[in-house]
Amino acid sequence: MNDTIVAISTALGVGAISIVRLSGNDAIEIVNNCFKGKDLTKVASHTINYGHIMDNKEIIDEVLVSVMKSPKTYTTEDVVEINCHGGIISTKRILETMLTHGARLAEPGEFTKRAFLNGRIDLVESEAVMDIIDSKSEEANKLALSQLSGTTSKMIKKFRETLKQLLASIEVNIDYPEYHDIEVVTKNQVKTSIKDMKIELDKVIKESKNLTLIKEGIKTVIVGRPNVGKSSILNKLLEQDKAIVTDIAGTTRDIVEGEIYLDGVLLNIIDTAGIHSTDDIVEKIGVEKSLSMIDDADLVIVVLNNNENLTKEDEEILEKTKDKQRIIVINKNDLDKKLDISSKKLENVVETNTNTVEGIKRLKEKIIELFQLETIKTKDYTYLTNARQISLAKKAYQSLKEAEEGLLNDLPIDMVEIDLKETFDLLGEIIGETYREEILDHLFANFCVGK
Amino acid sequence: MKYEIIVVGGGHAGCEAALAAARKNHKTLLVTSNINNIADMPCNPSIGGPAKGIVVREIDALGGEMGRNADKGALQTKMLNTKKGPAVQALRFQSDKVTYPKEMLKTLKSTKNLEIKEAMVENLLVEDKKMKGIELEDGTKINADAVILTTGTYLKAVVLTGSKKTPSGPHGEKESKFLSDSLRKLGFTIKRLKTGTPQRIDKNSIDYSKTQEEKGDSVTHTFSFDNIVYRKPEDQISCHLIYTTPKTHEIIKEHLNESSMYGGYVEGIGPRYCPSIEDKVVRFSDKERHQLFLEPESLYYDDIYIQGFSTSMPPEIQDLMVHSLPGLEKAKILKYGYAIEYDAIDSKQLKRSLETKLVENLYTAGQINGTSGYEEAAGQGLIAGINASLKLEGKNPLILKRNESYIGVLIDDLVTKGVKDPYRLLTSRAEYRLLLRNDNADLRLREYGHQVGLISEEKYKSFLEKKENIKSLTELLQTTRITPKKEINEYIEKIPSTPLKDGISLYDFLKRPEVTLENIKHFIEINYTNEEQEQVEINAKYEGYIKKANKEASKMLSLEEKNIPEDINYEEVPNLASEARQKLSEVRPTTIGQASRISGVNPADISILMVYLRRNN
């Protein structure tokens, strides 16, 4: 029923080996037709077979061919993987040979899509596969891998089980009101269950948010007046001269991006043009851009100059960033202290200078502390790892909260149950147990190149 | 002899079907094996209950008979779940087993276009997969354009007590021997189902001092929106509550294998939701006692029904069981309990109109479709009667949606999911039960009743007035404001509620949980009926929840609008799981929404199906 698809499933380039993978009803036959070695249609499933891929009578490459028969394969269809010697030319020729023998070039994400559609993996797992392909850092990769084992699904299933029991007890009371000896679910019982679930869910959401940052990188924006040393701090963090650093105010007109890995976690650092009033049109655009960057940032590093008094512009920056996750860096602490911020009661203050390494080290430590990077690293990764899941979990949390409010307002238990049912459905949606058209549209729109 | 519509069976489904067809001006024949058994209540003497009571209201809203008839036969009336929200409140009446059938028969006899015939139907006449008529036991053929089968438990019925198996309908009535064979020949899958009934006790032999009295409500209730009260609250008859004793359980356990069920004499599958006392004792062995209700059957004879004590034990064991109950030590058993087995069809072979997929113009309703309960039967009977008529009129069938009625939920479940054991309606089967309330059945369905011609112009006019009044009272409360004046806040504190800080509309004020419409009357005069006031109050109080339910319902409806072509070949849809392929081919859902409710069809299958449909569009 399924046509056979083929793709190069390793990154094209200089690697020791490349893998060309096929999936579909004719996968084994197609490879066999251009394979010199054992008859692949007769070998046992899950075996590796040595031989050569031929183009007519010409040997293209010496290969190892893994034959995996349906249903115990990634897609549940027959799957063949050709391990060939790396190198663009021969890998591509093998791919072309497969195409001429009847395979079709796979669409982006089609292997995973087939795995999902054939019921081999659930929604969370297929999203995790996309994450692996997409993951930018080591930590994210680990996170994606742990998802595949279904730990997220397990946790959500636990919540749903609790809710299911609660819902069932409430409904028995509704449908059999005349039975005096069926235990009546009291509002207090519901209250307790909701409270416990809320606490756990809240924790998961919060930590998941940090994990999203791990996966996608923490968007870090450095802001401050001109010439307080923003670019120097960036360079120290990046340990390379990316932004232009001079003593003339307003050198950094464009927003510069750099990436660093802090304990395996990606930090996307954005240097901004100094925020100050200016008539220069180019600079003005830069300043506006800087201000808008603050809104999108996960972390704002506000740089102040130890050697100058707090200015009106500094105060504006502090005001503008007060609701953000931020670190205040008092730069140039090797110069005379003229800055007085004692009245501001600021948290997360770090003193630095760019001539020594200590200050920058403290800054890095502060970042790690703020995002609890260390604790996350050592934890089991039982969390939600993408925006869709987190937003659903938040909605589920919200319904729980509404249920709680309902109880507080002394609404009848069957009304409160409506919110509990919604929570149940939302959690089901996270693991693909509730049907919603948008989920799949959303999911398939997000399949990336690769598997 | 030729009729437009023939209804086979005179139970609750048959009565509604025949009345609907005849009232819609179709020449109708109701065939029953015993005219004295029309609208009989062979099991419990009550009508209504959670979800079921709401079905009765829906039947009334659509122009059916059950609500009015139950009002006439009421012995005791109760509103259930009053401590819970408006969505789950429902009426249950104790109903007189003499008055109810008598009144129904009177109505049937006085209905134009309707004839009643006493006979046993044993064969269906079908040509080219189209209904032609029926054949009676004596070979008489009667032609009809459409036939509605409402045969209840009569198809190949067998009554069981202990190891004794007697071919018979309920209470010694004659069973139909061959009709289900005729259905099987037409391609229907025939299932065997089982149900049961408890003993009837002579009321004069009960020691009521050992029981607990259960009275009806002190206010009047009616099922029908006609609101005619036939029994005053003070004239209600009481029920009595007792519990099984350890001795009862001992007797049951000791003789378990003598019961038809545990002795292995029963083939049919019994209802999960209405287990026999043997089942209860076995399945809930940790429970020390089970609750039983002693319910009077009629004012005209002495039978007391023991609700909760349904059994298929041999009579001599039933004697021991009954006499082990408090107050029943010397009870005289008038009728023994028994189990009954009967044939039913697979309801997945029906369309949502209740027309069969196999034979055009053949409809089925009630226990033959695998349901249990008088109300479930009547609801289906009404819809089958309406749709058979509409078909003959060349009109589209009336298909009630899941967000509109419990009847819609019931029929959709039957044709989409099918049944394994006799199906009982429960509030939890409805996703949008907040919309499907006892109080608003007319607002949901009367319009349809009028459209199909079962609601008179006069009734329709008063319904429109009610709707208009609800709207104007809502507007009145929304536009009248109260402000934090001293005397106003003094009153509000007395309610007790939080004093105002700012001005507020009375409508918003009514939203406060502790505030009722009675409090609102302190500020303005309200000249509206109680029913109208109730609607406004519920709408205000539960506005947020109602909106949410409507939003959910509209999501469901959007999937209902995605049609699946009738001729789809599921073998050609790639990637479907084999279970889904088989289930979809069997049920042949007409919309994506229906497909998504089939058990065994996963979300992934639905998306595959949608992708396929989009691609082939």
Residues of chain A with Cβ-Cβ distance to B84 below 8 Å are 173-174, 177, 412-414
Residue B439 burial (CB count, 10 A)? 16
pLDDT of B63 reads 98
ipTM for the predicted complex comes to: 0.79
pLDDT of B279 reads 86
**How does the average pLDDT of chain B come out, rounded?**
93
Q: Is residue B251 part of a domain?
A: yes
Question: Is B574 within 8 Å of A1 when comparing Cβ atoms?
Answer: yes
B144 touches chain A (CB under 8 A): no
The last residue of one of the domains, among B305, B339, B373, is B339
Question: Is B575 within 8 Å of A2 when comparing Cβ atoms?
Answer: yes
In angstroms, the CA B381 to CA B387 distance is 10
pLDDT of A443 reads 42
pLDDT of B345 reads 97
Residues of chain A with Cβ-Cβ distance to B555 below 8 Å are 436
Minimal CA separation from B596 to chain A, in Å: 8
Give the global pTM: 0.75
- Go through B241-268 and write b for each residue having 16 or more CB atoms within 10 A of its CB, e for each that does not: bbbbeeebbebbeebbebbbbbbebbeb
The last residue of one of the domains, among B451, B472, B498, is B451
3-state percent breakdown (helix, strand, coil) of chain B, nearest 5: 40, 20, 40
Question: Which helix (DSSP H) or strand (DSSP E) does residue A198 occupy?
Answer: helix A187-216
The answer to whether B246 touches B217, Cβ cutoff 8 Å, is no
Residues of chain B with Cβ-Cβ distance to A412 below 8 Å are 83-85
Whether residue B130 sits in one domain with residue B11: yes
Whether residue B356 sits in one domain with residue B210: no
Whether residue B331 sits in one domain with residue B377: no
Tokens of B100: 């109810």
CATH of the domain at B395: 3.50.50.60
Under CATH, which architecture does the A5-120 domain have? 2-Layer Sandwich (3.30)
Whether residue B587 sits in one domain with residue B525: no
Whether residue B538 sits in one domain with residue B480: yes
- Residue A254, SS3? coil
A404 touches chain B (CB under 8 A): no
Question: Is A178 within 8 Å of B293 when comparing Cβ atoms?
Answer: yes
pLDDT of A255 reads 56
Q: Is residue B554 part of a domain?
A: no
Interface test with B, best of A178, A399, A423 (most B CBs within 10 A): A178
DSSP per-residue string spanning A32-92? HHTEEES-TTTSPSSEEEEEEEEETTEEEEEEEEEEE-TTSSSSSS-EEEEEEE--HHHHH
Domain count, chain B: 4
Whether residue B307 sits in one domain with residue B169: no
A134 touches chain B (CB under 8 A): no
* CATH 3.30.1360.120 residue window(s) in chain A: 5-120
Rg (CA), chain A: 29
Q: Is residue B161 part of a domain?
A: yes
pLDDT of A253 reads 43
Whether residue B204 sits in one domain with residue B192: no
Residues of chain B with Cβ-Cβ distance to A176 below 8 Å are 50
B280-333 pLDDT, tens digit each: 888 777 788 889 999 999 999 999 999 999 999 999 999 999 999 999 999 999
Whether residue B153 sits in one domain with residue B113: yes
Q: CATH classification of A151-213+381-445, choosing from 1.10.1060.10, 1.10.540.10, 1.20.120.430, 1.25.40.320?
A: 1.20.120.430
Minimal CA separation from A69 to chain B, in Å: 17
A415 touches chain B (CB under 8 A): yes
The answer to whether B88 touches B119, Cβ cutoff 8 Å, is no
Residues of chain B with Cβ-Cβ distance to A166 below 8 Å are none
Residues of chain A with Cβ-Cβ distance to B81 below 8 Å are 174, 177, 414
Residues of chain B with Cβ-Cβ distance to A2 below 8 Å are 574-575
- Tell me how far CA of residue B473 lies from CA of B476, B508, B534, B540, in angstroms: 5, 13, 11, 11
Interface test with A, best of B214, B428, B599 (most A CBs within 10 A): B428
CATH class assigned to A221-374: alpha beta
Instruction: Write down how long chain B is.
Output: 617
The answer to whether A268 touches A282, Cβ cutoff 8 Å, is no
Query: Who has greater pLDDT, B387 or A421?
Result: B387
CATH of the domain at B318: 2.40.30.260
Residue of B nearest to A436 (CA): B603
In the 8-state DSSP scheme, what is residue B355? B
Minimal CA separation from B599 to chain A, in Å: 12
Question: Is B603 within 8 Å of A119 when comparing Cβ atoms?
Answer: no
Residues 266-295 of B with CB under 8 A from A: 287, 289-291, 293
Question: Is A178 within 8 Å of B87 when comparing Cβ atoms?
Answer: no
pLDDT of A360 reads 84
The one-letter amino acid at A276: H
pLDDT of B557 reads 87
Residues of chain A with Cβ-Cβ distance to B85 below 8 Å are 411-415
pLDDT of B578 reads 80
Q: Is residue B555 part of a domain?
A: no
In the 8-state DSSP scheme, what is residue A46? S
H-type alpha helices, B24-98: 52-62, 66-72
- Residue A138, SS3? helix
Question: Is A418 within 8 Å of B602 when comparing Cβ atoms?
Answer: no
CATH of the domain at B580: 1.10.150.570
Residue of B nearest to A186 (CA): B84
Whether residue B540 sits in one domain with residue B468: yes
Whether residue B437 sits in one domain with residue B507: no
Average pLDDT over residues B557-568: 88
Q: How far is CA B82 from the centre of its chain?
A: 20
Minimal CA separation from B128 to chain A, in Å: 36
Residues of chain B with Cβ-Cβ distance to A165 below 8 Å are none
Whether residue B325 sits in one domain with residue B209: yes
Enclosing domain of residue B277: 200-339
Query: Who has greater pLDDT, B253 or A377?
Result: B253
Whether residue B177 sits in one domain with residue B75: yes
CATH of the domain at B462: 1.10.10.1800
Residuewise pLDDT in 10s, chain A (451 residues): 478 998 887 765 445 678 899 999 899 999 999 999 999 999 999 999 999 998 888 888 889 999 999 888 888 889 999 998 766 667 778 888 888 888 887 776 678 777 776 666 666 666 666 555 554 445 555 555 455 446 667 778 888 888 888 887 787 778 777 776 666 667 788 888 888 888 888 887 777 766 666 666 788 888 888 888 887 888 787 765 444 444 444 444 445 567 777 766 677 787 776 666 666 666 666 677 777 778 878 889 999 998 888 888 888 888 888 888 899 999 888 888 888 887 778 888 888 887 777 888 888 888 878 876 655 544 444 566 566 677 788 889 999 999 999 888 888 888 888 899 889 888 887 776 664 444 444 444 443 322 2
Question: Is B603 within 8 Å of A432 when comparing Cβ atoms?
Answer: yes
The last residue of one of the domains, among B494, B525, B548, is B548
Q: Is residue B384 part of a domain?
A: yes
B101-158 pLDDT, tens digit each: 999 999 999 999 999 999 999 999 999 999 999 999 999 999 999 999 999 999 999 9
Tokens 């395979």 appear where? Answer: A103
B549 touches chain A (CB under 8 A): yes
Interface test with A, best of B80, B84, B546 (most A CBs within 10 A): B84
B559 touches chain A (CB under 8 A): yes
